[in-house]
Structure 1
């Protein structure tokens, strides 16, 4: 299909005709220049944000930096406090679980006495005493002391620390996997 209209294109063809030709110039006004930029090619010292008149421009970044610095300090403090709170809760849960284990071992010791003899029941009681001692020492110490002990252990024996971390990770993964499997079956 050929175009039979051979007239040249004009502004009227591209933009709709405006009733007021000055309205087009009002719609496209430039925005105010940024502070400190040289818009008229003049001396930067005479500009509103130039070095000669920078009392507010230097104060604003310093105030912003201080505000950001204060915010970061508050976040760090808040995160540390929350982590310490979670660690205290975890310590309380761990000592509660250890106390339950002690109770279970003592109950098992009585049953072992009845079925196998007091010699084997004494092993269960000894294990219960060891767990009870660990639970009470864990309960008596602060989280900071426990973290210091953990750091000392890692420095003295990094291979053992890695092995313990791997074992704990394996157990946690198995428990998580078993929990997810039982939830899927329900």
Structure 2
């Protein structure tokens, strides 16, 4: 075997000066670039859609927390009548805290909220799991109450 033949067999590089060009080499590079471009566009579209859904979720969370705060505030009067003014004040304070949370969520950018949640989960994974379970339980109860409360 000649030295040129060995070089060609080992690294798939044609001998210099032969004028050899791989068939469709330019088309393969163009196709790779087109795939990269399309993947970038799809990634950007998916990110935009996810951000849109997150904004909608944020608006719904604000609305639901506002309703929860009003419900707690309404219950404060009953608590006060049954348990005393001190406990009624505790309930009103809880309603205020829920509304403060709702306002904070509403006034914060979705990306910042996501960063805050990630940081919280990293710092306190047990609390995060407990909070998620509690929220799930409350939501299930609210949905069940809504279904049970509908007239036939």
TM-score, normalised by the number of residues in structure 2: 0.70
For structure 1, which runs of at least 5 residues remain unmatched after alignment? Answer: 1-50
Matched, 1:160 2:127: yes
Deviates more, 1:144-153 or 1:55-64: 55-64
Shift of 1:104: 1.6
For residues 169 and 104 of structure 1, what CA distance do their matches in structure 2 show?
18
Q: Which structure has the larger Rg?
A: 1
**Cα deviation code 1:131-153 (max 9, x no counterpart):** 01111111111111111111111
Q: Please list, as runs of the form range in 1=range in 2, the aligned pairs for 1:17-96 lying within 5 A after superposition.
A: 52=19, 54=21, 57-96=24-63
For structure 2, which runs of at least 5 residues remain unmatched after alignment? Answer: 1-17
TM-score, normalised by the number of residues in structure 1: 0.58
Greater helix percent: which structure?
2
Aligned length: 133
For residues 128 and 101 of structure 1, what CA distance do their matches in structure 2 show?
8
Matching residue of 1:135? 102
Matching residue of 2:111? 144
Matched, 1:102 2:37: no
**Cα deviation code 1:97-135 (max 9, x no counterpart):** 111112222222234445554333222211111101111
Deviates more, 1:108-117 or 1:62-71: 108-117
For residues 157 and 65 of structure 1, what CA distance do their matches in structure 2 show?
44
RMSD, matched Cα:
3.2
For residues 99 and 59 of structure 2, what CA distance do their matches in structure 1 show?
14
For residues 107 and 179 of structure 1, what CA distance do their matches in structure 2 show?
18
Counterpart selection for 1:118 from 67, 74, 85: 85
